[in-house]
Amino acid sequence: MTRRLVVIGGDAAGMSAASQARRGHGPDELEIVVFERGNDTSYSACGIPYWIGEVVGERDDLVVRTPEEFRERQAIDARVGHEVVSVDTGARTVRVRELASGSESIEGYDQLLFATGATPTRPDLPGVGGAGVFGVQTLDDGQAIIDHLGASGGGGPGTRAVVVGAGYIGLEMAEAFVTRGMEVHLVDRGASPMKTLDADVGGRVADAMLGMGIDLHLSTEVHGVRHRDDGCLEGVETAAGTLPADVVVLGMGTRPNSAVAEAAGIPVGPETGGIVVDVQQRTRVEGVWAAGDCTEVLHRVSRGPTAIALGTIANKTGRVAGINLGGGYATFPGVLGTAVTKVCGVEIGRTGLGEDEATSAGYHPICSTIASTTKAGYWPSAHPLEVKVIAERRSGRLLGAQIVGEEGAAKRIDVFAAALWNEMTVEELLNVDLSYAPPFSPVWDPVLIAARKSWDAVQADRSA
């Protein structure tokens, strides 16, 4: 008898799970149906700012596999333009709305996977729903921004952009508009960009952004968006005055899209808002699974639940769910929150816990910061970078790291991530046999210099 797997959400986690489940069971054993409310499946949402910034040429360049390709190659029935509006876990059915027609149908399932992603934060402020104000989550969002810029003069010099929010998306969209030659203002209620960075590191990011010509309005509340009588965008109203704008982008973070699951009685974490799952990605309701940005995950350093909207995590948790749905066995061991981004020539990387996060998790952190270069100091293309290390006082266990620098800086965060994953001390890290040649690093790589300074601080604290 053919069983039926229904997947809600057709991007990274959903399609990774569907593809893995198909490897375990052929079409005669398992029917797989995916309901996706958007118009695309399996695309790179992370690439949208670079498409808007004209680094990536075409929309199709960001699509990994179309719904037609899933149907033809893997017998996965991916139905775009379909939204699951409710779930009945007792009857094992979902109510699906076809968005184009508004018609609804009831679809049965044997196994159900939530891969509903995250919902962008959209403040309840006057004018936010009006013309010229955009979020950045789907390819349709990116297309809408590009079309709007084309209609307002092409988005080149003289075009004014206001980005609200200084997280990853906010910074990447600021870069996209700078790349197009636009006048860019970035507004955030925080005192420094990127709340996932410690304030001292975020301050260095702010200095770099100012040096690029981005106007920063930090510690500034947004009161609303102003439109003219004809409905056209006029500007963003802030506590410090009105910023004229031709386009406004909201980059204020996301929250797990778990409302349908919660309404169906599926437990959601009170702190994270993410669907609660075990290591196999099973929820606490029989036959229901979840993966990706809609779930909460274990942080391997704090040991607490967290919700982090990253494509890396979505793909990995989707893979684990799909293996198990396909009859195999896999578990997801947790996350470190490792991430990188850049704003024009400035690269930013972070992993593990920041200083305040470590304290909140019950650790007693000791922090140190070093300045170095990406290559040997005498090498013509050597660039500056700074590394901050957070270690546990007394034991010297590595708790986190943050990097800000120019080309060649950010991916060094992966060395710290590998050390964190294996619960190394900073003393153990400073002796790791990293490679050296002048075109790639100083003889003491910045990672090792930072670990050595951190270990010195730990030893000095022990002696105090």
Instruction: Note if 46 is an active site residue.
Output: yes
In single-letter form, the type of residue at position 114 comes to F
Beta strands in 9-92 (DSSP E): 30-36, 76-80, 82-88
- Token pair recorded at residue 143: 């297309």
Q: Are 129 and 140 in contact (CB under 8 A)?
A: no
Residues with Cβ within 8 Å of residue 254, at least 6 apart in sequence: 118, 119, 120, 121, 137, 293, 309
What distances in angstroms separate CA 342 from CA 167, 250, 397, 403, one per listed residue? 11, 18, 28, 11
Task: Round to whole Å and give the CA distance between 195 and 211.
Answer: 20
Beta strands in 75-128 (DSSP E): 76-80, 82-88, 93-98, 104-108, 111-114, 118-120
Residues with Cβ within 8 Å of residue 370, at least 6 apart in sequence: 386, 387, 446, 449, 450, 453
Task: Round to whole Å and give the CA distance between 461 and 450.
Answer: 17
Residues with Cβ within 8 Å of residue 51, at least 6 apart in sequence: 57, 58, 59, 61, 62, 142, 146
In single-letter form, the type of residue at position 115 comes to A
Torsion angles phi and psi, residue 307, rounded to 5: -130, 115
Catalytic residue among 46, 232, 294, 367: 46
Q: Kindly provide the b/e burial profile for residues 402-424, where b requires at least 16 CB atoms within 10 angstroms of the residue's own CB.
A: bbbbbebbbebbebbbebbbeeb
Task: Round to whole Å and give the CA distance between 329 and 324.
Answer: 5
In single-letter form, the type of residue at position 246 comes to D
How crowded is residue 287: how many other Cβ atoms within 10 Å of its Cβ?
A: 12
In angstroms, the first-to-last Cα distance of the chain is 71
What distances in angstroms separate CA 210 from CA 46, 178, 221, one per listed residue? 24, 12, 19
Helices (H), 139-198: 139-151, 168-179
Among 114, 133, 136, 113, which residue's Cα sits nearest to residue 125?
133
Q: Which residues are catalytic?
A: 46
